[in-house]
């Protein structure tokens, strides 16, 4: 291999901090792995392994993140610079166990080809083609000034929309089943995953005065993108999702994340909604699962 492709696992905060700075200089291409690394530095409670080629440099880097928030299935997110490089294959060969159930998140077309090549004739169980929509501006400071209380400033404030008072706050465990039953990707692992997101204060809801249950909710997933946006039927077309996304975006920023979502290719309504809120369409990203 042309670069030193020995995989190494990053263990110390300093190593991960250094990686974060390097990935920051490669935004927006590195957005998915960058956000994972930011969350890891926050010690957000997710079990992750960060694997990288030994002796990596900015111009020669392969990062693979294993996210264990859905045991027994690993979620895998990766980033390479340059994007098309043979060395990614060598690295993956060394670190992946293809007999295990694996979920690959946000792959570029090139990464998708590399993964397919490992499985030969075997087809993925499912694949969801998306584009990344991000709220990223090169000139905007991504990281909050230290000393700000990141969470207090954004959440739990009572705001007004016309005559309605609302607040956005993190959901509690009794809301897990409500969210799970309304999620189109609901599966045998999802309730446990949602309970984890609630515990980590990553699942946000919009509450109206006098109504016990949230009328809309959104999450920041364990890999740092926003999603699962849902508004209850009887509260739609009233602008609640917009207020919620704006608050979630601020919250994500206060954590040092770059706010972004994965929008499925055929979901024009969602694409239009996020574009209206200032998100820009960026790279292709496919989610795919192998049993």
Give the pLDDT score at 21: 97
What the block records as the tokens of 6 is 């020995």
Give the pLDDT score at 70: 83
Chain position carrying tokens 């110390």: 12
Q: For residue range 38-65, list pLDDT tens digits in order.
A: 999 999 999 999 999 999 999 999 999 9
What the block records as the tokens of 97 is 């166990």
Give the pLDDT score at 141: 55
Q: For residue range 232-269, list pLDDT tens digits in order.
A: 999 999 999 999 999 999 999 999 999 999 999 999 99
Handedness of CA 283, 154, 48, 38 (dihedral sign): positive
Give the pLDDT score at 162: 84
Across the chain, the runs of DSSP E, i.e. the strands, are 7-9, 48-53, 61-67, 74-81, 102-107, 126-134, 158-161, 164-170, 203-208, 216-220, 226-231, 260-264, 280-290
Query: Per residue of the chain (291 residues), what is the pLDDT tens digit?
Result: 444 568 999 999 999 999 999 999 999 999 999 999 999 999 999 999 999 999 999 999 999 999 998 878 899 999 999 999 889 999 999 999 999 999 999 999 999 999 999 999 999 999 999 999 999 877 665 555 444 555 557 898 888 888 899 999 999 999 999 999 999 889 888 999 999 999 999 999 999 999 999 999 999 999 999 999 999 999 999 999 999 999 999 999 999 999 999 999 999 999 999 999 999 999 999 999 999
Q: How many CA atoms lie less than 13 Å away from 17 in the CB half-sphere?
A: 4
Give the pLDDT score at 1: 45
Give the pLDDT score at 140: 63
CA dihedral 92, 288, 125, 179 (to 10 degrees): 130
Residue 155 three-state SS: coil
């Amino acid at each position: 291999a042309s670069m030193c492709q020995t995989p190494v696992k990053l263990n110390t905060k300093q190593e991960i901090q250094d990686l974060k700075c390097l990935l920051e200089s490669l935004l927006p291409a590195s957005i998915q792995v960058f956000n994972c690394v930011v969350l890891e530095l926050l010690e957000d409670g997710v079990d992750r392994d960060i694997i990288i080629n030994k002796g990596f440099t900015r111009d020669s880097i392969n990062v693979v993140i294993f996210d264990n928030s859905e045991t027994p299935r690993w979620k895998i997110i990766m980033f390479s610079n340059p994007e098309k490089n043979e060395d990614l294959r060598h690295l993956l060969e060394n670190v992946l166990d293809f007999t295990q159930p694996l979920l690959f998140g946000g792959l570029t077309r090139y990464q998708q080809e590399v993964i397919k090549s490992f499985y030969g004739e075997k087809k993925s169980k499912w694949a969801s083609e998306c584009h990344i929509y991000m709220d990223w501006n090169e000139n905007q400071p991504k990281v909050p000034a230290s000393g700000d209380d990141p969470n207090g400033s954004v959440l739990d404030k009572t705001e007004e929309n016309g005559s309605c008072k609302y607040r956005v706050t993190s959901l509690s465990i009794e809301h897990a089943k409500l969210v799970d039953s309304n999620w189109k990707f609901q599966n045998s692992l999802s309730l446990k995953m949602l309970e984890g997101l609630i515990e980590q204060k990553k699942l946000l809801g919009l509450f109206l005065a006098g109504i016990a249950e949230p009328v809309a909710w959104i999450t920041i997933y364990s890999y740092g993108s926003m999603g699962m946006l849902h508004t209850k039927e009887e509260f739609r077309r009233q602008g609640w999702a917009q207020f919620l996304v704006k608050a979630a975006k601020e919250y994500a920023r206060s954590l040092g994340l770059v706010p972004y979502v994965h929008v499925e290719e055929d979901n024009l309504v969602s694409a239009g909604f996020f574009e209206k809120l200032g998100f820009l369409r960026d790279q292709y990203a496919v989610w795919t699962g192998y049993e």
